[in-house]
Amino acid sequence: MKNKKVVVKVLAPKEGSIAGAMEKILRELGEDPAREGLSKTPERVETALRYLTGGYKMDVKQVINGALFAVKYDEMVIVKDIEFFSLCEHHLLPFFGKMHVAYIPKQKVIGLSKIPRVVDMFARRLQIQERLTQQVAQCLQEALDPLGVGVICEARHLCMMMRGVEKQHSGAVTSAMLGAFRSHKETRDEFLALVAQNSKYGD
């Protein structure tokens, strides 16, 4: 796979590609893109960026891939501490953290391993934390038609941490509550209590 990609890049003109643009950026920064340590950096950055934004090429159907099962189960299902890494759309710098996802099935459940994949699909795009949180909730709502979905996202933003701004707010928590999680305080509280166990959230 890797070799194939390198061949494609050698044949393709650097001009107009991400790698070509990176070469210009390096020069703008006062660097010498030809020096040994940097000579392959533009291509590496392109490969990395394409991977980190690979979520644009994924869709829900492909990710869920039929892993929906009919069951009679109407208790809360919760997947905690799903690690994610994303890029903020304002600075193209990483923000990363954990997501906690819960839903209450109506007729369908989803294979548990699929939930982190849904998170990845949206995290590997240029994002803001609020939209990422909403999209994960909305996606599960549409795919499962459950009684409700709750998503809590705790993240740290390098654009804040590294630039020295608002260090005290570099950790942000967002949530999206749909259906029963929005309309029933008890449901929401149960979710929050489950998340708070062994987690920073709720400290």
Is 139 annotated in the active site?
no
Closest residue to Zn ion: CB criterion: 159
Binding of residue 163 to Zn ion (CB under 5 A): no
Binding of residue 132 to Zn ion (CB under 5 A): no
Cα distance between residue 142 and residue 40, in whole Å: 43
Among 9, 14, 50, 91, binds Zn ion (CB under 5 A): 91
Cα distance between residue 139 and residue 178, in whole Å: 11
Q: Considering the complex, what minimum distance in angstroms separates the CB of residue 178 from Zn ion?
A: 26
Rounded to 5°, the CA angle 179-182-183 comes to 85
Binding of residue 50 to Zn ion (CB under 5 A): no
Is 159 annotated in the active site?
yes
Is 184 annotated in the active site?
no
Q: What is the x/- site pattern for Zn ion, positions 8-47, by CB under 5 A?
A: ----------------------------------------
Binding of residue 90 to Zn ion (CB under 5 A): yes
Query: Residue 97 forms beta bridges with which residues?
Result: 84, 155
Cα distance between residue 131 and residue 11, in whole Å: 38
Rounded to 5°, the CA angle 9-121-173 comes to 125
Catalytic site positions: 88-91, 129, 157, 159
